[in-house]
Structure 1
Amino acid sequence: MSIIFNILWIILGGFFVFCGYVLGGLALCMTIIGIPWGIQCFKLAILALFPFGSDVSSRWPESYPTSGLNIIMNIIWLIFGGIWIVLNHLVWGVMLCLTIIGIPFGIQHFKLMKLGFTPFGRHIVDY
């Protein structure tokens, strides 16, 4: 079932979200200082391409989203653009959840919002 939803997601706009994150990641990776944040954009791009059947979790026990370096990197992420990613997915998630047909897609935007809020110290898992 998640294959069908992923195909619908890609057709109905998920591909454009994916392309936006890939282009942002490439732009950030062109600078040496932006490489860690570019990698997080690629992580968001992967989840934006196939959100159904995937979830976001902490990397336990390797690293924690609340460890010192991850907190600093997540704060910098939020200040310099992460907040706009979170607000964008929040608005789209709420708008899609207003319709019965859009509820599954709205939930995926909330999942992307969760990863967009604190991408450092998290990874994508399949279920």
Structure 2
Amino acid sequence: MSCLGNIIWFIFGGFFGALGWLFVGILWCISIIGIPVGLQCFKMAKLQLAPFGKDVVTVSDSGGNLILNILWLIFGGLELCIANLISALFLCITIIGIPFAMQSLKMAKLSLMPFGKEVK
């Protein structure tokens, strides 16, 4: 079921969400200091392409991750979170779209605090 869900997700919105993550990741990678943040964006873009069957778990709550999450929230995370929330709102209009809205909400939550998280 997750394969079919991922195919439908990719066609109806996952691709555009991944483009957002890629764009922000490229912007972060322009500076040498932002490369770790950009690499995290590329990981999240991969998750945005196929979120069904994958879970996001917290692996570290260190102070460094907190600082990166705060910087991320200020310089790119809020916009991606809002885009995913709007997507979830439109997907909830039909009953068929509710599982896709749940994936979009998962991505919105991850858009706020991506550091210290791992995709399993």
What TM-score, normalized by structure 1, do the two folds share? 0.87
Please, which runs of 5 or more residues in structure 1 have no aligned partner? none
Provide, for residues 42-87 of structure 1, a one-character-per-residue CA deviation record: whole Å limited to 9, x for no partner.
121011011000111011xxxx2x3211111100100112111112
Q: Which amino acid aligns with 1:21?
A: W
Give the ranges of 4+ consecutive aligned residues of structure 1 lying more than 6 Å apart after TM superposition. Answer: none
Residues 38-77 of structure 1: matches in 2 within 5 Å? 38-59=38-59, 64=60, 66-77=61-72
Please, which runs of 5 or more residues in structure 2 have no aligned partner? none
Find the aligned partners of 1:74 and 1:112 in 2 and give their Cα distance. Answer: 15
What is the deviation of 1:100?
Answer: 0.7
Structural RMSD (CA): 1.3
- Conserved in 1, the CA contact under 8 Å of 2:52 and 2:103? yes
- Conserved in 1, the CA contact under 8 Å of 2:20 and 2:80? no
Query: What percentage of aligned pairs have identical amino acids?
Result: 50
Residues 102-121 of structure 1: matches in 2 within 5 Å? 102-121=97-116
What is the deviation of 1:94?
Answer: 2.2
Q: Which amino acid aligns with 1:112?
A: M
Answer yes or no: is 1:123 the counterpart of 2:118. yes
What is the deviation of 1:91?
Answer: 1.9
Identify the residue that residue 94 of structure 2 maps to in structure 1.
Answer: 99
